[in-house]
Amino acid sequence: MSTVKEKKFYWNEETLNYFKFVSNYESKKQVIEEITDFVEYNCSLEDNETEEDLIKDLTNQVYNK
């Protein structure tokens, strides 16, 4: 039995606040699409990171206030 530990990333407070703000006015699907675009166009991947890891983590941090 193996356990997969989720990666946790540091996000700029401004970024988190922006997505938390829009999450009050847009559907979760729309916010995830914006997060996906943000990660694809504004984030640089480091060792062993994937865009999917970043999208999942940012989404979790936005919705798990």
Query: For the whole model, what pTM was predicted?
Result: 0.86
In whole angstroms, give the CA distance from residue 54 to residue 10.
10
End-to-end Cα distance, the chain: 31
pLDDT in tens, the chain (65 residues): 444 456 689 999 999 999 999 999 999 999 999 999 999 999 999 989 999 999 999 999 999 96
In whole angstroms, give the CA distance from residue 31 to residue 25.
9
Quick count: other Cβ atoms within 10 Å of Cβ 51? 12
Q: The tokens of 36 are what?
A: 């996906």
